[in-house]
Amino acid sequence: MKVTKKTVHRRRSLKTEPLLAQTRGLLRRFDLKTRKSLGQHFLIDEEVLKLIAAAAELTSTDVIVEIGPGLGVLTKELARQAGWVIAVELDNKLAAILKQTLASFNNVIIINEDMLQLDPAALLQEQRARFSP
């Protein structure tokens, strides 16, 4: 089969539809607009999501720091595989949404701060007590 822009677009649209619809729904539900000043982009391709999660090779003992979790699409997948996920989100609205949409995950910590202003080692040390069973 000859691959053209049209076939790539058609194939891509079939793969992105569930996450794309979910993302659009959340953006409408919470009346959100992407903030280009923060470089916001949302993961909408299910296959890319699976590839990222598989490439991480996570175990139940891993602690992940996710910077800019956005709407939490990748965060959910990481939380299913890792021991803990610390999601650091600068955008106040998105952080509030994450606290709602990820409330069922008891291994996810949402931090509403600028990661560039945090010390990663101190962040892990502060959260260490939560990691203990």
Q: What is the pLDDT of residues 39-55, one digit of tens each?
A: 778 888 888 999 999 99
Mean pLDDT over each residue of the chain, to the nearest integer: 84
The residue assigned the tokens 């952080």 is 95
What is the predicted pLDDT for the residue at 23?
A: 83
Letter for the amino acid at 103? A
Mean pLDDT along residues 23-50: 82
**Domains, in order of start, for the chain:** 5-131 (3.40.50.150)
Q: Could you tell me if 113 and 123 are in contact, meaning their C-beta atoms sit under 8 angstroms apart?
A: no
Query: For residue 88, with 0-12 CB atoms within 10 Å meaning exposed, 13-18 middle and 19 or more buried, which class applies?
Result: buried
Mean pLDDT along residues 70-82: 95
Token pair, residue 68, equals 């800019």
Query: For residue 98, with 0-12 CB atoms within 10 Å meaning exposed, 13-18 middle and 19 or more buried, which class applies?
Result: buried
* pTM for this entry: 0.78
The two beta strands, 63-67 and 108-111, are unpaired
What is the predicted pLDDT for the residue at 133?
A: 59
